[in-house]
Structure 1
Amino acid sequence: MQATSFISYLLLVTLCIDFFQNGTSAILRRQRRRMRYRGLRASSSEGRRSQRQPRTRLLAPVPVGPSIPLINIDDSVMGVFDSLVGLGGHESSYSVLPGKQGHCTANGMIMYDKAVWSPTPCITCLCSKGKVLCDTTMCHPLKCPTTIIPAGECCPVCSDIASSLDSSIISMDDLTELSGDSPEPSDIGDPVIRSSANAQGEKNELIRTEGVEFKEKAILKMNEKKRKRKGQKNRQKTYHKEEKPVTRKDEEGRPSYEEEELQTAKEKINKMKKERIKESVGEQEMQYESNEDDDDSVHVLRGNSFRVPPHFPIPVPPIETPLPSGCSISDTAVSCTNAKLTQIPPISDPDLTSLDLTGNVITAIPDEAFNGIPNLEWIDLSKNNLTSRGIGPQAFKILKKLKRLYLDGNMLVHIPSELPSTLEEIKINDNRLHAIDEDTLQDLKNLVTLELEGNKLNEANVSPLAFYPLKSLSYLRLGRNTFRIIPQGLPSSIEELYLENNQIEEVSEICFNHTRNINIIVLKHNKLEENRIAPLAWINQENLESIDLSYNKLYHVPSYLPKSLLHLVLIGNQIERIPGYVFGHMKPGLEYLYLSFNKLTDDGVDPVSFFGAYHSLRELFLDHNELKSVPFGIEEMKKLRFLRLNNNKIRTVPPERICRTHTRDDDDNDNSEEEEYRDSRLEHLHLENNRINTRQLSPHAFSCIRSYCSVVLKPQKIK
């Protein structure tokens, strides 16, 4: 009987315990739902309450059933049952009882210290000592040209991979990443908690940024956000009066947790910068080897992608192309004479002003040949193998400062086009030029010197207007061509004209009508005769001082010579006679007369042949003629210093033909007397290679000459 009663008692106790536990579990579930509801309602109507204000009563008595008494559950019992429920896995919740230090509040929910949750798929939050710290999900950098984010994912993937996974994708360009700087209001609790999350997010952003060049920008951005947050807090005080605002320093004056974390981040960045500078010195030669690393390196800063260089940028000096062998450089000049070059060397030096490429085998000049040396002032390309086809139409156009261009000794058939208007001197001697059109030289208004000797130019292929645009031209050389007449259309600025070694037969009256400044005319080695020179060809020229008519077909000294003539060269003709008074109209008078290598005889020189030049002539060359005696009139030449009579047939020198005896009255004596005095200025007298017997010369023959060593008498041709 006693045994039966004992067993019945045990069964009754077991049933009561089971019923009590089930009821308690139900009560706890209802109380938690009620507490969560009350928290949400309180936060929306009254504002959020401080964590340090504990509630004195959390749960009211709830009737479980008619056979169970009312139960008041305190905080400790609630904590035990909450732990048991959590371990059982029936309801998993981060809500905890208020009043515990270190807990956090987010969206009306109470969180443990060190609790972690995700308000949105790509943001993770942490409860740390009563503060909520949130950050975006870290993503690995990708090395593909196009990245996209599949729907429902946080991190980007390569477009070729994602296209096979999901057709609904989001492009990186269209996605606005969430960061701790500006979270959505519904994502992370109240503004005060978001401020703490921002500080932690900025710390993580600075630590993860490997590009040191962005450090200053990040710090400036962080300071700006601090000022904005400070204004936010001042506004929050108005709406949350019951809360204690978060300050940067606590009651004891120590820095807040956020400032300590940011200071630590700054120290790490400074250390990282020092290490990066040390590493970059050794990596200087490797930092530009891979374009893929420079272009595709992506560093994620709080959910945003930035392209930054993987290394600290260090300037690299420009690579200079070494000069070819045989070239030398001096200051602003490069010389590659006879260096066997086949093309213009690739030089890049804006300071270079002179380039000498004489004696190479260069065949072409492309349009871009001088792009690296645009400030050249002088180019010498003489003695190469240049052709007109090989020179680009704009090869010289870039040279805006070019003044001298030498192209002698090439194979050009045309003058290069598009020459710079700054040119002052052009030499294209010894080429194959066979035409000059009226537009060839039209832009060369500053050209002073033009040399076109040794080509195939003549009056038929040179336009009468070819030289008209050359308003500054003063020096023109057209020797060794095939001209038969003086070229037409010479500019009025011309001062020196060289037409030697042509086939000129005539000098017409109109040749020099517009050349009032001409000073020198060289017509040697042509086919001129004195009767083919028009009387008015140059007689009225006021500045023409020198004429060279050597090696033509002249039989007489030409008449109607220019009035201003000072220098007349008639060497190598067939002149037999000097007409009388031929120099008489010249003013101030002829100074230099060269008649060497002609056929002058005693009969061809009249007593008045040198009339008009007695008081002006300084040099007289009559050597290599057929004179048998010293011509008349030499003793009248008071300024004569150089006289050549060598290589003639002279047999004797009469005393008065060179030195004339003068008489004068001596006022110091009462009796007048005649005495000789020397007044000749002769410094050089050549009489060698004649037929003079020096022993038979009169002692007064050279008495007017200041020094006898100035007289050359030997050798002689005595038979």
Structure 2
Amino acid sequence: MKIAVLFCFFLLIIFQTDFGQNEEIPRKQRRKIYHRRLRKSSTSHKHRSNRQLGTPQTTIFTPVARFPVVNFDYGMEEKFESFSSFPGVESSYNVLPGKKGHCLVKGITMYNKAVWSPEPCTTCLCSDGRVLCDETMCHPQRCPQTVIPEGECCPVCSATEQREPTNLLHKQLPPLQVGMDQIVRKEALQSEEDEAMKEDTEQKTETPESRNQRQLYSEGDSRGGDRKQRPGEERRLAHQQQRQGREEEEEEDEEEEGEEDEEDEEDEEDPVRGDTFRMPSRSPLPAPPRGTLRLPSGCSLSYRTISCINAMLTQIPPLTAPQITSLELTGNSIASIPDEAFNGLPNLERLDLSKNNITSPGIGPKAFKLLKKLTRLNMDGNNLIQIPSELPSTLEEVKINENNLQAIDKESLSDLYQLVTLELEGNNLSEVNVNPLAFKPLKSLAYLRLGKNKFRIIPQGLPASIEELYLENNQIEEITEICFNHTRKINVIVLRYNKIEENRIAPLAWINQENLESIDLSYNKLYHVPSYLPKSLLHLVLLGNQIERIPGYVFGHMEPGLEYLYLSFNKLADDGMDRVSFYGAYHSLRELFLDHNDLKSVPPGIQEMKALHFLRLNNNKIRNILPEEICNAEEDDDSNLEHLHLENNYIKIREIPSYTFSCIRSYSSIVLKPQNIK
């Protein structure tokens, strides 16, 4: 009997132990399931709201399309799916689709999947050559009082409220502009609390010998008097101990939830590669340096950035703030930069001096020498006649557009081996005053902008690392065989608004380039589509020339094949093209723009372009549309056309047979009105 009782008691202990060990697992599983359901319900609600908003409308000359609002508090993968789920986005001349899906935004090239924020509350994405932008929806705050900081679009908890922990992927930034006096007071209180906690910790860990020694030193001060305890010190220490205990418990709970959220997010997140412009960090930045920082009138402090835009300054203000990393002095009347101007800002990474009156003689020879961490320098819109000397070797981006640069010698860009972007547009540079060896030190240069200068030929000595070259608004007349001999990585060449004729392009100028995907020869003196184009070309822009003919087989040698051909605003007529004009591009052409020409009928071979999505034939002299010109009656497959423009011709819409556009899936993508009457 005793043995049976003992055996039952032993089994009862085992069952109770197993139940206690396994009790925690369902609780964690329930919590994980709850978070997943919460995320899914939020996502489904977001997609429902997107569907209710409907399909957006865009304009052909607008590079940025407006899309329904998406809640950015959720995962990046869901957000990009929402971008790509809207059909019918018009194409634009200002994009650089290419193989890599480049986008051109305000003169800056963005790579495919690049994400940036052009202004508060707006985030844009480059998706396969199209710029898609969303406005940020604000996450509701769980605090009684909220404020909207200057320059922000979402409310945040006021300074008197304590933030609650959140598991969102992107946390809301605290207010951007903070007064220096508030920061100093907070740091003073924090330092007192830290010292008190340090004393309390030392008392707990000290040995008996050290305790006795401390008591001997604390019995009197330097004058032999008794040490007086500060009022409220005991209460403060007790309060700190209680608070420390509560914080440790909260940290343990948060670590548990954080680990579970990380497991969920690892399965859901899709990393996205950024570009020159990236999404702003959502984590709070460290406060500025301790101490009192007096800013001039019109300046503001935004964590590590001091902004003095249009502050009517006549000189660079004397500032001592080692933790400041960005200084904005745009739109002032600064005329000089002395050697000691930035001595108090040794950790500057970004410096914007654009739109001032700075002259080359007014810049001290050592003005930038101490800025050992400077990566971006903007001096657009000043009165410089030469590039400043002794620029930091850490620079990755230099902008000196719209100045009065007269020359670039061999030493002007020395030691800038980390420079990636160089912009020198709107100056007086030419092949006469630019040394052929000037660009030799730039081993990392990828983007070079020399537009609005006086070049008559392609600059010599371009670095082998160059990927994008912009030479618009110059006086270039020819492209020789040696221009791009050493630039095997070049991907984009922009030569619009020059004086180039097709017979002045050498046959071997760029035909053997393996990475050249985009060429812009708009607004030159071309009468024919140039021959001997690069084999790798995907994107050809020939707007605003005097082109009358597309030679046969001009695209036949290209691999994988031309995808984007823009021939708007030329003089193309029916006899200037035939079926062999597009030979080699029938299988690859996605966008064909022939608007604003002299065509009287639909060009031959359109129905054979199986990959065509955008066709513009508006503003011509077309009178009739035959059924077989757009759709092939012998094939039952639907066309891929998403936009067909035929407006501003001489078409009698009522006389168009009903089956003329039978292969097009949606009639809403066909634009026929208005038509001209003659």
TM-score grouping bracket, smaller chain normalisation: 0.5 to 0.7
Label 1:267 to 1:705 Cα distance change in 2 as closer, same or farther (>3 A).
closer
Matches within 5 A, 1:37-56: none
**Of the candidates 336, 344, 358, which is equivalent to residue 372 of structure 1?**
344
- Secondary structure of the corresponding residue to residue 609 of structure 1: helix
Q: Is the 8 A contact 2:293 2:321 kept in 1?
A: no
Structure 1 counterpart of 2:597, one-letter code: N
Q: Is the 8 A contact 1:480 1:499 kept in 2?
A: yes
Structure 2 counterpart of 1:460, one-letter code: V
Give the equivalent residue in structure 2 for 1:526. 498
Give the equivalent residue in structure 2 for 1:575. 547
Structure 2 counterpart of 1:380, one-letter code: D
Residue 705 (1) aligns with residue 664 (2): yes
Matches within 5 A, 1:17-56: none
Paired residue total: 404
C-alpha deviation, 1:679, in angstroms: 2.6
Structure 1 counterpart of 2:588, one-letter code: S
Matches within 5 A, 1:424-463: 424-463=396-435
Structure 2 counterpart of 1:416, one-letter code: P
CA distance in 1, matches of 2:353, 2:373: 17
- Secondary structure of the corresponding residue to residue 374 of structure 2: coil
- Secondary structure of the corresponding residue to residue 657 of structure 1: helix
Structure 2 counterpart of 1:320, one-letter code: T
Residue 603 (1) aligns with residue 562 (2): no
**Of the candidates 324, 332, 342, which is equivalent to residue 360 of structure 1?**
332
Give the equivalent residue in structure 1 for 2:482. 510
Structure 2 counterpart of 1:577, one-letter code: R
Residue 682 (1) aligns with residue 623 (2): no
CA distance in 2, matches of 1:544, 1:679: 33
CA distance in 1, matches of 2:562, 2:642: 19
Q: Is the 8 A contact 1:333 1:355 kept in 2?
A: yes
- Secondary structure of the corresponding residue to residue 445 of structure 1: coil
Residue 386 (1) aligns with residue 358 (2): yes
C-alpha deviation, 1:678, in angstroms: 3.3
Partner deviation per Cα, 1:254-287 (whole Å, 9 max, x = no partner): xxxxxxxxx9xx9796455869x99xxxxxxxxx
**Of the candidates 589, 609, 617, which is equivalent to residue 645 of structure 1?**
617
**Of the candidates 348, 352, 357, which is equivalent to residue 320 of structure 2?**
348
Matches within 5 A, 1:396-407: 396-407=368-379
CA distance in 2, matches of 1:682, 1:439: 54
CA distance in 2, matches of 1:630, 1:604: 12
Partner deviation per Cα, 1:111-163 (whole Å, 9 max, x = no partner): xxxxxxxxxxxxxxxxxxxxxxxxxxxxxxxxxxxxxxxxxxxxxxxxxxxxx
C-alpha deviation, 1:345, in angstroms: 1.4
Give the equivalent residue in structure 2 for 1:472. 444
Partner deviation per Cα, 1:277-335 (whole Å, 9 max, x = no partner): 99xxxxxxxxxxxxxxxxxxxxxxxxxxxxxxxxxxxxxx9863410111111111111
Q: Which has the higher contact order (CA 8 A, sep 6+)?
A: 2
Residue 564 (1) aligns with residue 564 (2): no
Q: Is the 8 A contact 1:581 1:611 kept in 2?
A: yes
CA distance in 1, matches of 2:226, 2:492: 77
CA distance in 1, matches of 2:220, 2:553: 108
Label 1:318 to 1:551 Cα distance change in 2 as closer, same or farther (>3 A).
closer
Matches within 5 A, 1:109-508: 270-272=223-225, 320-508=292-480
Structure 2 counterpart of 1:712, one-letter code: V
Give the equivalent residue in structure 2 for 1:621. 593
TM-score (normalizing by structure 1): 0.55
CA distance in 2, matches of 1:639, 1:590: 11
Give the equivalent residue in structure 1 for 2:652. 693
Structure 2 counterpart of 1:685, one-letter code: L
C-alpha deviation, 1:435, in angstroms: 0.4
Q: Is the 8 A contact 1:321 1:346 kept in 2?
A: no
**Of the candidates 505, 510, 513, which is equivalent to residue 541 of structure 1?**
513
- Secondary structure of the corresponding residue to residue 390 of structure 2: coil
Partner deviation per Cα, 1:690-712 (whole Å, 9 max, x = no partner): 00000110112111100001000
C-alpha deviation, 1:607, in angstroms: 1.8
C-alpha deviation, 1:684, in angstroms: 0.2
Following TM superposition, where does structure 1 have runs of at least 4 consecutive aligned residues deviating by more than 6 angstroms? none
Q: Is the 8 A contact 1:678 1:703 kept in 2?
A: no
Give the equivalent residue in structure 2 for 1:164. none
Structure with higher Rg: it is 1
Q: Is the 8 A contact 2:304 2:324 kept in 1?
A: yes
Label 1:718 to 1:327 Cα distance change in 2 as closer, same or farther (>3 A).
same
Q: Is the 8 A contact 1:357 1:382 kept in 2?
A: yes
CA distance in 1, matches of 2:291, 2:589: 66
Partner deviation per Cα, 1:436-455 (whole Å, 9 max, x = no partner): 00111111000000000000
CA distance in 1, matches of 2:481, 2:380: 34
CA distance in 1, matches of 2:222, 2:513: 88
CA distance in 1, matches of 2:417, 2:620: 51
- Secondary structure of the corresponding residue to residue 607 of structure 2: helix
C-alpha deviation, 1:343, in angstroms: 1.0
Unaligned runs of 5+ in 2: 1-215, 232-288
C-alpha deviation, 1:568, in angstroms: 0.2
Partner deviation per Cα, 1:4-49 (whole Å, 9 max, x = no partner): xxxxxxxxxxxxxxxxxxxxxxxxxxxxxxxxxxxxxxxxxxxxxx
Aligned residues: percent identity? Answer: 73
Structure 2 counterpart of 1:511, one-letter code: C
Q: Is the 8 A contact 1:528 1:554 kept in 2?
A: yes
CA distance in 1, matches of 2:639, 2:306: 55
CA distance in 2, matches of 1:269, 1:347: 39
CA distance in 2, matches of 1:481, 1:378: 26
CA distance in 2, matches of 1:591, 1:367: 53
